[in-house]
Amino acid sequence: MSKLDIKLLFKFFDLIIPQSENMPCASEVITVEDVENVLSGTHKYIEPLSKITDFARTKISAEAENELTDNHMTDTLLAMESTMGGDFSMFIEVIYLIYYSKGQVHEKINWDTDELAIKNRIPQFDDAILHNIAQRPPFWRQA
Amino acid sequence: MILPKILPAVDILIVGSGASGAACAWKLSEEGASVVLLEQGDWFDHNDYPGDSNNWEIELKNSFDFNPNVRQLESDYQILDEHSDIHPLMFSAVGGTTQHWTAHTPRLHPSDFKVKTLDGVADDWPISYWDLENYYDLNDVMMGCSGINGDPAYPPKPPRPMPPLPIGKDGERIARAADRLGWHWWPSDSYEASVDYKGRDGWNGYGTYASKRKWRSIASTDVTYIIPALENGLEMRTQCAVRTISADPNGKVTGVTYVDNNGAEYFQEAEVVILACNGIGTPRLLLNSRSKDWPDGLANSSGLVGKNLMFHPYASVSGFFEGDDIDYTIGSLANIIIVQEFYETDPTRGFVRGYSFQMNRAHGPGHTALGAGSSGRIPWGEDHHTEFARRFKKYTGMAVISEDLPELHNRVEIDSTLTDKHGIPLPKIFYKTSDNTRKLLDHGIKSAEMLLKEAGCYEVRSVPLLESAGWHLMGTTKMGSDSSNSVVNSDCETHDVKNLYVIDGSVFTTSGAVNPTPTIQAIALRAADIILKG
């Protein structure tokens, strides 16, 4: 896919993950290079995203690209979702995976990836929780 | 046509270095046997695992996807699975699929070996739980089993080599709910180190599945079996894809033809050949070994090579909690708690045999957004952030792992035109879940919903069949006493071809309703002893 194709897809990103009071929108954290990196790492997204791009082009003329309303774009996304569900799922997968790989998003959702932080550790197993089940007689079937 | 270069004969040749091949190679080498091990993949550097990088969830959907058809690494071969309800999962490398698994390691039950006698379905195995018991114990030590003995669902086991893995806040909620319902539950046996063990780092209660893989706390047979076997003198040849197996007119194996990574072809003569290529790779190899003497594939006089493919169909049930966060993105994925209240046949339920529950966790925020388990993809658009906040760190899941009864129409065949990069014909699989499986999974979903609601979930969602969960590949070279109704005997030697053994999940007569790896490895260790005794 060309940079131009990816830039066309970018027009939909903020309708998929919009900005909220606390959270950034997709285009604020995702770059064209991020998408290129994901596409270069696997074959599985290339064909679906090409189809999504082609579909978008049938709905959006080059001349009108800069004058699109959100309603028009949302209608286009809904049409993609209903007529090409599998390809659309791959498109969503790319956006979600990149968005939620970003440090600034992790910070906002309180996803502390500091694996050495004590607060991120699960306590060791305490066998007191076995109190009830350990009293059950063996019930495996003889054979 | 260039003839393969003929290599001097070796005593024992094993094909495949995964769970079974590695265990068998170690046992044979430990007793001084001369063994060559062929592996189609290469050594896997654990530092290549995405680990704790921010991209790790992206990698787990791409180059480290569990599905080889998605991953398409150089060592993967494609599996033609468009006619299958379930997509098979595997990994090609030294260590095989133990390089990329959750390491949930329950044993089969004694009853699993006698389903014909007990329940009138399928066939009994020609061996029993007790034939494997010592090998289960040995394997638990070699692989490193974390757990705790005293589980009332099983015969007594020796003390587990390591204490159980932490079960977390979500695990505690499930355990207490099972107690209140009067149901069985137990901390899972797991081949993941809870403490430092035989040079491997123990898991200290932090980090995700991916980072634990990187640290090697999860066992893989390159570390647990292959390295010790190499010290015993094992000869390992990597990136060697076996094309065919040969036998003489008297029905004795003579060796294998393989191609290396440079395209050079060899014929390796061997006194004994052992196949350990998994429930798809092994029948693929036998069916590809057609010849004038074996027109339907090697060792296939029964016509059962490739038939009776079993998977363990999974259903998934997810529940959402309110209030405090739970630990659902930290720690083990599926080797946490097992529930076996519904394992055995109960005629009042309307189906035969039963199922286990495995408690599951998600990976991280990316997988949460994509709807890990059965939680469903978070919607795009204006509700996205609200819905994400409702779910993130607030749900857990139960997987229903069902017994899969053998059926002839579920099978592995060889495609007549498509081949891998070496020109070796690809496997094509046909698989449909049965009515019995459907009833069993539906019962499991209702039970899991009850358990999750008892645990405090205010909303529960389910997926009736996980398509991308074909972890367990079984049944395609069935073990049995009758050569007309099975492919290998109780010693794992093929009925038709002397000195040709199969030791992977292909030999399972029936599937049970638990993860198969400890049983596969126990069978492999036992077969090694039998081969050593000649």
Q: For residue B228, what is the domain's CATH number?
A: 3.50.50.60
Residue of B60, B61, B73, B357 best to disrupt the A interface, most CBs of A under 10 A = B61
List C-alpha distances in Å: B21 to B96, B131, B299, B374: 9, 19, 19, 34
Distance of residue A8 Cα from the nearest chain B Cα, in angstroms: 18
Q: How many domains does chain B have?
A: 1
Contact A129 B377 (CB under 8 A): no
Q: b vs e for B118-153, b when ≥16 Cβ sit within 10 Å of the residue's Cβ?
A: bbeebbbbbbebeebbebbebbbebbbbbbbebbeb
Burial class from Cβ neighbours inside 10 Å (0-12, 13-18, 19+) for residue A58 reads exposed
Minimal Cα distance from A104: which residue of B? B54
pLDDT of residue B262: 93
What is the residue range of B292's domain? 5-44+67-361+394-533
Residue in B52, B57, B385 nearest the CB of A23: B385
Query: Is residue A82 within a helix (H) or strand (E), and if so which, with residue range?
Result: helix A70-83
pLDDT of residue B60: 85
Sort out which chain B residues have CB atoms less than 8 A from A88's CB and list them.
none
**What confidence category does residue B324 fall into, taking pLDDT thresholds of 50, 70 and 90?**
confident
pLDDT of residue B215: 66
pLDDT of residue A69: 81
C-beta separation of A13 from A30 below 8 A: yes
Beta strands B265-275 and B253-259 are antiparallel
Please state, as a whole number, how many other Cβ atoms lie within 10 Å of the Cβ of residue B33.
18
pLDDT in tens, B492-528: 999 999 999 999 999 999 999 999 999 999 999 999 9
Please check whether residue A85 touches B, CB under 8 A: no
Minimal Cα distance from B58: which residue of A? A97
Q: How far apart are CA B106 and CA B112, in angstroms?
A: 13
Cα three-residue angle B230-B65-A9, rounded to 5 degrees: 150
Tokens at residue B361, please? Answer: 């966790």
pLDDT in tens, B182-226: 999 999 999 999 999 998 888 766 666 666 666 678 999 999 999
Predicted TM-score (pTM) of the model is 0.95
Sort out which chain B residues have CB atoms less than 8 A from A18's CB and list them.
381-382, 384-385
Sort out which chain B residues have CB atoms less than 8 A from A44's CB and list them.
62, 70
Tell me: pLDDT of B18 over 60. yes
Tell me: pLDDT of B149 over 60. yes
Sort out which chain B residues have CB atoms less than 8 A from A143's CB and list them.
109-111, 113-114, 117-118, 128-129
Q: What are phi and psi of B150, to 5 degrees?
A: 115, 5
Residue of A15, A39, A97 best to disrupt the B interface, most CBs of B under 10 A = A97
Beta-bridge partner residues of B258: B242, B266
In a 3-state reduction of DSSP, which class is residue B84?
strand
Distance of residue A70 Cα from the nearest chain B Cα, in angstroms: 11
Name the residue among B190, B214, B217, B191 with its Cα closest to residue B204. Answer: B217
Contact A122 B330 (CB under 8 A): yes
Tell the residue number behind the tokens 């059962």, with chain if given: B304
C-beta separation of B361 from B336 below 8 A: yes
Binding-face residues of A in 29-58 toward B, CB within 8 A: 38, 41-44
Residues in chain A with pLDDT < 70? 61-67, 113-120
Mean pLDDT for chain B overall: 94
pLDDT in tens, B330-363: 778 888 999 999 999 999 999 999 999 999 887 7
Three state DSSP letters for B17-41: CCHHHHHHHHHHHHCCCCEEEECCC
Beta-bridge partner residues of B5: B266
Any domain includes B13: yes
Any domain includes B389: no
In a 3-state reduction of DSSP, which class is residue B381?
coil
Sort out which chain A residues have CB atoms less than 8 A from B150's CB and list them.
130, 134
Please check whether residue A15 touches B, CB under 8 A: yes
Distance of residue B42 Cα from the nearest chain A Cα, in angstroms: 20
Tell me: pLDDT of B125 over 60. yes
Q: How far apart are CA A130 and CA A91, in angstroms?
A: 46
Cα three-residue angle A2-B369-A38, rounded to 5 degrees: 25
Sign of CA dihedral B100, B106, B110, B116: negative
Minimal Cα distance from B128: which residue of A? A143
Any domain includes B367: no
E-strand ranges in B49-88 read 80-84
Contact B155 A140 (CB under 8 A): yes
Query: Is residue A104 within a helix (H) or strand (E), and if so which, with residue range?
Result: helix A103-108
Any domain includes B56: no
Size of interface A-B (CB pairs under 8 A): 163
Tell the residue number behind the tokens 């064909």, with chain if given: A47
Contact B168 A125 (CB under 8 A): no
